[in-house]
Amino acid sequence: MVASDLPPLLLLSPLVFALVIFAMPTSGRSARLIELLHLVSIVGTLVLALTTVGYVLSHGTLVTFGDWLMVDPLAAIFVGLIGVVGCLTGFYSIGYIRHDVAHGELTAVKQKLYYGFFNLFLFTMLLVVTANNIVMMWVGIEATTLGSAFLVGIYGKGTSLEAAWKYLIICSVGVAFGLYGTVLTFANASASIDPHQAVLWTSILAHAQDLDPTLVKIAFVFVLIGFGTKAGIFPMHAWLPDAHSEAPSPVSGLLSGVLLKCGLFVIIRYYAVTMKAIGPEFPQSILLVLGVLTVAVSAFLVFVQHDFKRKLAYHSIEHVGLIVIGLGVGGPLGIAAALLHTINHSFTKALLFCGSGNVLQKYGTRDLRSVKGILRTAPVTGLFIMAGALALAGFPPFNVFVSEFMVFAAGLDAGYPKLMILVALLFTITVAALVDIIAHSVLGKAPENMEKSDSSWLSLAPMGVLLALIMVFGVAMPRPVGDILRQATGIVMDQGHATATATPIEHVAAKK
């Protein structure tokens, strides 16, 4: 196999499996076979994703398919994320969906469709992050909406259909803005370079200085509105809590953990172009304002929610806000921090959504006021939720602490001490909210006559892996991850690989 085959293979694998799953007959016996196909697909995707990341790390950027597909270190971070979180939530799905089928929530047909769309969804996300063609990037983002809208509404209940509808309309409309931004960027670039090149992100970045500054600004605003909708940035976030709370829990984990980040990924791509074309001041001030607003609004909304998954959804908005702040603060430390936080938040949020899935199946409700004593009725799940909530609240030795601290330090470095303290105080509100989950739902008096039984190992094993990842990233981030973060930061700053320094932390040292 040639290395340049990797990206197409990575894309094709989940797509082909999705189609095969759709084509399967739906009889009682084929359910196990579909699960097996799904399992092969997600593991295959994981292996291919990690191989690709490994190749990029050792050999540098992979470009193929007439330069339309590209995996540079920045993309590699997201490819890895989709591979890992996709595989774990996909594995978790098996036990979860079985339970739903057994309890009559889903039919066999829906089960098949679930796995089909799940893999299709993975494909669309991979399409976004491997695209070098900016229009294809847009196509991919739009496709993720289409692929996941069905997953959101899969239960066919009134509320889930409502959520799916809002999701579809708001995101389609939002992403249409993204198309405008894309077209403007393309038109802008094709004025100075060959149209077949002007559609490629790499050439746009290379010729960023020749772009018309006004159009670049307009395009960036459109892109931010468009893909920001997908990322859940305030004030375009309205769809997110509904969709994330109504989707099946593993899908919620995937939506929160990875899909939001795909939106951010596209924004980061345009951010790099914009910074190079017109300097960092304009994009950074917009990002900072939006980021702080996002954190401020969501912090209070997190607190007042009683629905477990809605609380988590608002939490995702808040963390997206923090990532946007990291980008807005800029500088190598800020961008590296934002990227690291992207990874860290994915793991923790996936863990907690899986946990919420176990709780939902155990208690039959997501209302935290009636969920009590998880630690007594389902000890392992309770422990996982407790660890996940503490991690998300930013306590050491978990991973979120590291990246939150880095964003904070980057903000101080860039000269925003008041803003950073404000943000940190806003985050304290969510610490209170998360501690509240532990105090009243994980602990507390278990309902009478509820027997003590945990979810099956199929559900618990992926959560264990996620928790292990959270710990590893908190205590000792693996060296390759540091390398790839550094290289990705170099790309966003457009310094190329050679000039970038050894670690994100050393960026600061090098700058002085």
Residues 459-488 that bind other proteins (CB under 8 A): 475-477, 482
Q: Are 154 and 92 in contact (CB under 8 A)?
A: no
Secondary structure (DSSP) of 305-374: --BHHHHHHHHHHHHHHHHHHHHHH-HHHHHHHHHHHHHHHHHHHHHHHHHHHHHHHHHS--BTTT---H
The residue among 435, 442, 328 whose CA lies nearest residue 374 is 442
**Binding track, positions 223-262, relative to other proteins; x by CB under 8 A:** ------------------xx--xx----------------
Instruction: Using CB under 8 A, pick the residue from 39, 47, 63, 146 that binds other proteins.
Output: 146
The residue within the footprint of other proteins, chosen from 439, 452, 468, 478 (CB under 8 A), is 439
For residues 312-331, which are near other proteins according to CB under 8 A? none
Q: Which is nearer to other proteins, 91 or 222 (CB)?
A: 222
- Evaluate the omega torsion of the peptide bond into residue 248 and state whether it is cis, within 30 degrees of 0: no
Q: What is the four-CA torsion angle of 271, 298, 148, 392, rounded to 10 degrees? A: 90
Residue 346 near residue 500, CB atoms below 8 Å: no
**Contact with other proteins (CB under 8 A) among 16, 179, 450, 465:** 179
What is the distance between the alpha carbons of residues 509 and 512, in angstroms, rounded to a whole number?
6
Name the minimum Å distance from CB 308 to other proteins.
Answer: 14
Contact window for other proteins (CB under 8 A) among 69-77, 87-95, 170-178, 464-472: 170-178
Amino acid of residue 186 = F
Among 35, 67, 105, 212, binds other proteins (CB under 8 A): 212
Nearest to other proteins of 313, 491 (CB atom): 313
Residues in the chain: 512
In the complex with other proteins, which residue's Cβ is closer, 55 or 220?
Answer: 220
Range in contact with other proteins (rule: CB under 8 A) among 3-11, 251-259, 434-442, 454-462: 434-442
Residue placing its CB nearer to other proteins in the complex, 23 or 476: 476
Question: For residues 364, 101, 246 and 84, what is the CA-based torsion angle, rounded to 10 degrees?
Answer: 110
* Residue 104 touches other proteins, criterion: CB under 8 A: no
Q: Considering beta carbons, is residue 241 or 283 the nearer one to other proteins?
A: 241
Q: Which of residues 111-140 bind other proteins (CB under 8 A)?
A: 133, 135-136, 138-139
Helix (H) or strand (E) holding 386: helix 379-392
Considering only residues 393 through 432, tell me which ones interact with other proteins, judged by CB under 8 A: 395-397, 401, 405, 408-409, 412-413, 417, 421, 424-425, 428, 431-432
Residue 509 binds to other proteins (criterion: CB under 8 A): yes
* Residue 75 is a binding residue for other proteins (CB under 8 A): no
Give the single-character DSSP code of 236.
S
- Do residues 458 and 92 touch, judged by C-beta distance below 8 A? yes
Show contacts with other proteins in window 34-53 (CB under 8 A): none
